Structure formats: structure tokens, C-alpha cells
Structure 1
């Protein structure tokens, strides 16, 4: 789940980016409105977490400009304690939710996940492929009755493949979902992530296969996966 964090407080931003990544999100960070606008122009985000007190432009102005160009990406506003006026204005302009600082990380993650679910127009669901399942509420993978422990990049890659199980996912598209926009990694680095995932799926009925010329595909069955 790719999200954009717009936050100018360096320590807060560093903590949130690290925590969100560990929870399976793919966070990009913008320290000001100008950086956020450039990232939004170049990327598709499933949600935006936005602080209001930005150094170059108030968050409500940035939000108003987003909605004016028909950008409907769900936005969660981070507001200061007691800023009722900003919260009301934000909701009227088009914010989807708000959270008052200080907050618990678990609540932030739950609210972001709920915004994405609502934007997709469906309730929490479980994705399946053979014995592999993914609970979108907890963002946890299970193989049979066993939880899979994955790194953030493994989590992002497996989610992208599971969401299109039975159909190939192009290498470039998969790379974009796994690595941040500013990553210096080569596109071939995705094969390292897939190699680790294949090892974690060894012995199960779920395989990651290479579809020559088309990308990678998750499938269930007794056959072994094609080496990358």
C-alpha cells in the first residue's frame, strides 16, 4: 500500500516512515508542499497523510488545490491539539479523516487502512491463492495456519502478486510497488526479493513463476516455480 507522508518535522517524519514501512506500507516522504506536489504528479498513492503546518504552504491550501484538480486520493490530516477550526475546515474542503497529535501509531495505521478500504468501495477482505491468504485488516500473510514473517519489500511484492494471482505482473510494475521512488536499486533487484519469497514459500502449494516476456505470476498447484 503506497502512501505519501507530508510532514516537515524531521524526527516525526523519520519515525513514521520507519514504522509504516515495518507495518507493510510503502511510504514516500515530502517535507514541504512543493515536494509533495512533485511526488503526487509522478506517483499514484492510495492515501496521503498530511500535516497542516508546512513551511511553504498551509496543508489546507494544498488539500484545496488537490480537490480542485479532481485528485480524490484519501487524505488523513494531522492536526494540533485543540485545532477544531482547522479540522472543520479540512473536512469541508475535502479531507477524509483527521488525527490529533500526539497519536498512537496503531490508530494512524488503522485509520489509513480504513480510508483506503472506503475509497475502494468494499469492506475488509482476505485475498487467497491456495493455502496463502492475506488479511487486509491486519495486513498479515498466512500460509495455512502459519503467519509469514516478511520484510517490507517482501510484503509489498507478495501483496502485488497475490492481488493479481493467476495473472502476470510486469517486472517494472512490480519494481515500482516494492522500491521507493528515490531508490537507487537496479530493476533487477526485484529478483533478489522474489528469490527470498520463493524460499519462504518452499514446500507449500503456492509458487512464484516467471512468465517469459510478461513478468512474474503467483499460482497454486503442485508444480515447482520457474527459476528467475
Structure 2
């Protein structure tokens, strides 16, 4: 009995550790300690609620890490999409050209990308993402059992994983597409201003113009609730993974 509880505890810990590995924390001693502490807390909470599993093999241990990572993919999708628009906006307004003249190489490649990435993680915490994702991890143990790599179920589970990959790609397109359109609009409006004010030398002021348009577009995305739609995509994709 104690051996079964130990196997469950290790399996839950590995799945939770795979999920928390995507946190925006540096990969140093402190960051690893935080990840291990969070995974240990979830393991102690859920280990008594999960039925015992068989012997946990090396392949099963690696699989638990992969399951945890798959549950965290929607979060990475959201943050990467938000960060991507910042990088695109900086590229369109010529901000990344400054890196060519930075002899020290210490300046970040995209300031807007880093800013929006941190905002994305903060937004997830503000809207209750921590509690919701802890619940998603708990639900995954009933739909994706700890011993789901049983020989008689490998083919069926492989087909489900392929379907899940296609669904993830679909959600990625739905998230990234409006961000790409926003970047193109900023570039197009900047060029339109240059055409309309052809008598003025707006070329030298294009950086300021595009910076202002970029800030307006980011503010507009926040105001119209695009991030809330992204949150819906995240939870629906996570539920698809959980119900896999």
C-alpha cells in the first residue's frame, strides 16, 4: 500500500513539475526550487485523491513530464502570441536595428516584446489563471490516468494525441492571426500618413509615428477584450487536453 502511494506521489509530482517548468522564472537554483516546491505542494494535495497505479517505469516517468508540458502549452501559446506582437511592432518601426549598433550586445532585442510578455503573465494571474490551472491539473488525473500507456491503449492514445496536435495548431492560428493583422495595419497606416503628408518630411519621424500607432493598437487590443478572447481559447484548449 505504501509503495502504491509512493508511485502515485512520484507520478503526480512529475506531471506537476512538467506543468510548472514553463513559469517565467530563471533556470537557476532559486527558480528550480520554486518549481519543485509548487509541484510538491500539488503532489501532496492530489496524491490521496488518485487511485493507485502500477509500477512507474522510466518511460512512464518521462510521459508524466510530457503530459504536464502539454497542459502548459496553452499558456505558452498565449504569452508567445502577446510577446510576438511586441516583437513585430518593434521590427516594423525599426527598433531592432538599434541592436546592430550595440557593441556590448547587452540591450534586449525587443523591449515591447519583453513588456507584453510580462503583461501576459500578469494578466493570467489577475483573471484567476493560477486557480483555474491548478484545477485543470487535478481534472487531468481522472481523464489521463497515470498508467495511460498500457499496451492495449497505445494506438488509441496516439490517435488522440495527433488530433490534439491539430486542435492546438488551429487555436494557434486563431490567436496569432489578429495580432499579425494588427501589425500590418500599423505599417500600412504609417505608410498612408507618409503618402497623405507628401509635402512633409515624415520619414525622419516615422519611428515616433509608428511608436504612437503601436501604443494605440496595444491599447485597443486591451480595451476591446481581445485578451479575454485569448483566455477563452486557453481554457477551451486545456479542456480539450483534459478530455483527451
* Superposition TM-score, scaled by structure 2 size: 0.25
Q: Which has the higher helix share?
A: 2
Structure having greater relative contact order (Cα 8 Å, sep ≥ 6): 2
Select the structure of larger CA radius of gyration. Answer: 2
